[in-house]
Amino acid sequence: MSSLHLSSHAIPLRAPEYCYFTITKPSHISSEQYKLALLKKGIVIISLGFKDDSATTMERIVSQLGQVHEHDSQGRTVWDVKIGGQTGHEAMAISHSDNEFCLHNDGAFELDMPGYFGLYVVESDKLGGGNNILVCADRVIENLSEKTFRLLSSKKFRLRVPEEFHKNDDFIEATLIDDNHAFRYRHDIIERSSCTAEELEALKELELQLSLPQNMIKVSLEDGQIMLLDNQRYLHARTRIKDKNRHLKRIRFNMP
């Protein structure tokens, strides 16, 4: 069963006012305020008062916040999230299909997992699909048994690198929760055949917590909005896309 089967009951995002910003001109960037909000709450929503289909403003913001993280072996830093991808034929990645994308952390298969990512909405799903679902890692950790928490934060799991993101290694080994309680999770890359019964039971408990609607936050972004998110503090997902014209731009980055 999908981890998003109860996502229709997710709680709408309720973030403090300091997480919301409006930019009326490309030069009106307040990167220090965005950084403070990200460090405090892990999320920032910026509404642009002008059209920016190339996501230049998001790139400028990220360049002021920190270091851009390369997307793939081609060295891309900003890429299209739409059916078929940039060329219309990049259907290999889940983000380039219309399917739901279950809860995960971006780049969970990379040893140097990106700390943050940004989304810019060129065109939202006008048919009610493609909603962002977030789960706060701290909330999940609070509800895990001590045994499961200790196992997930000490045992190194074997994680497969998806073919479309392959750079050098086919697999990495890492804990799913680190010393700072940051998460590293994506259901379909965990090599469960190499797990013990105890480890499989811990994964089952974790995934139950991830499927509970009271742990889910729904974020519906509009055209011209940017969302910046702490990739290690939040797991995120996407509901099934209903509008084939839905188009987002995405970037990953780290902050010092």
Neighbours of 251 (CB within 10 A): 25
Alpha-helical runs (H) found in the chain:
31-41, 56-65, 137-143, 146-154, 197-211
pLDDT per residue over 53-83, tens digit each? 999 999 999 999 999 987 555 667 899 999 8
**Distance in angstroms (rounded) separating the CA atoms of residues 20 and 141:** 27
- CA dist., res. 42 & res. 59, Å (int): 18
Which tokens go with 36? Answer: 């403070």
**Unique residue bearing structure tokens 């229709």:** 8
Q: How many Å apart are CA 36 and CA 40, to the nearest integer?
A: 6
CA distance 86 to 71: 13
Mode of pairing for the β-strands spanning 157-160 and 171-174: antiparallel
The confidence score (pLDDT) of residue 9 equals 84
Q: How far apart are CA 166 and CA 191, in angstroms?
A: 16
| Non-local CB neighbours of 204 within 8 Å, separated by 6+ positions | none
* Contact (CB, 8 A) for 246 and 13: no
Question: CA-to-CA distance for 20 and 152, rounded, in angstroms?
Answer: 34
Task: Kindly tell me the sign of the dihedral angle through the C-alpha atoms of 84, 90, 91, 93.
Answer: negative
Give CA separation, 189 vs 65, 107, 158, 163, 175, in Å: 30, 11, 8, 11, 13
List 237's β-bridge partners, or say none: 133
In tens digits, what is the pLDDT along the chain, a chain of 256 residues?
A: 456 777 788 999 999 999 999 999 999 999 999 999 999 999 999 999 999 999 999 999 999 999 998 755 566 789 999 987 555 545 456 667 888 889 999 999 999 999 999 999 999 999 999 999 999 999 999 999 999 999 999 999 999 998 877 777 899 999 999 999 999 999 999 999 999 999 999 999 999 999 999 999 999 999 999 999 999 999 999 999 999 999 999 999 999 9
> What is the C-alpha to C-alpha distance for residues 88 and 101, in angstroms, rounded to an integer?
19
Beta bridge partners of residue 252, listed in sequence order: 69, 117
User: What are the structural domains, with CATH classification, of the chain?
Assistant: 7-254 (3.60.130.10)
Give Rg (Cα) of the chain: 18
Measure the CA–CA gap between 165 and 9, rounded to whole angstroms.
Answer: 32
